[in-house]
Amino acid sequence: MSDARGESNSPAPSGEVDVRMFTVGQIQENAYIVRRGAEAKRAVMIDPGAEAERLLEAARALGVEVEAILITHCHFDHIGAVAEVARATGAPVYCPEIERGVLADVNSWTPPGFGPFESYEADHTVQGGERLSLAGLDIEVLFTPGHSSGHVTYAIAAAASDREVTSADESGQVRERIPGERALLSGDVLFAGSVGRTDLPGGDWNVLERSIGSLLRAFPAQTAVYPGHMGTTTLGRERDTNPFLQELRVPVERPATGEGPEPAARAVADPAARS
């Protein structure tokens, strides 16, 4: 996978999904443009939280048509530019089903000192378990609540990137499908060295920990993570070094015990108090 912050246009290596990061707004939220490869002309945009014109200009500079807008969750810093980008591009908006009402009435959920923002009625909703085919991309939708009640993560690979391997056993040939490399667009579930805060409405540490554990079990350690704030990372790096994941380091492969973290770990929040 490749990633680029700001408006850098470094090309992706051949055959890899091209992920472009744009840090926007007062809360320094990461919006993304994702396409099948560096030469692809279609893309999806994820979490356009602010600075709509900058994001639209970035799409124009890349020469891509935004085919869809995907939302990980509906905190204002992730959806503040959704309406303007959708209107300018005609792209349908995919929103977590549980949080659809927040997108439709965003200012009622925006704290003092921010906004106002334009609300939007989602064109489609997702709840986890869907498989979307958009802009030449194969997108798995994963339900990852804990930071917010309806939060989803998008696991993105180039369409048809899975490969089929043929092996032989006693009964003859066996075909096995090997998943292609995926990028995790994780919103505010997991950050480099931190995790999403759980002191906002819909937040729950135990639920968030289970969500992160499900990602660690489902994807290899080298999987790239593109979070909603701060820099990119990998699942393996966070598993091994993230101070909030101590409870998950050893027990990733074993059933949950139901026991929570130490009391000091319960007040989990991004150090920058981002939402």
Bridging pattern class, strands 29-35 and 18-24: antiparallel
Q: What is the pLDDT of residue 159?
A: 86
Which range among 2-6, 35-39, 48-52, 68-72 shows the weakest confidence by mean pLDDT? 2-6
Average pLDDT in the chain: 84
Read off φ and ψ for residue 202, nearest 5 degrees.
90, -5
Domains and CATH numbers, the chain: 2-266 (3.60.15.10)
Global pTM value = 0.82
Q: pLDDT confidence of 51, banded at 50, 70, 90?
A: very high
Distance CA 173, CA 127 (A): 37
Residue 221 three-state SS? coil
Q: What is the pLDDT of residue 190?
A: 98
Q: What is the pLDDT of residue 16?
A: 81
Q: pLDDT confidence of 63, banded at 50, 70, 90?
A: very high
In the structure encoding, which two tokens stand for residue 174, read together?
């066996």
Q: What is the pLDDT of residue 248?
A: 84
pLDDT exceeds 60 at position 275: no
Residue of 131, 137, 132, 130 whose CA lies nearest to 35: 137
Q: What is the pLDDT of residue 202?
A: 92
Q: What is the mean pLDDT of residues 248-254?
A: 57
**Which one-letter DSSP state was computed for residue 55?**
H
pLDDT exceeds 70 at position 252: no
pLDDT exceeds 90 at position 256: no
Distance CA 128, CA 230 (A): 25
CB of 38 closer than 8 Å to CB of 11: yes
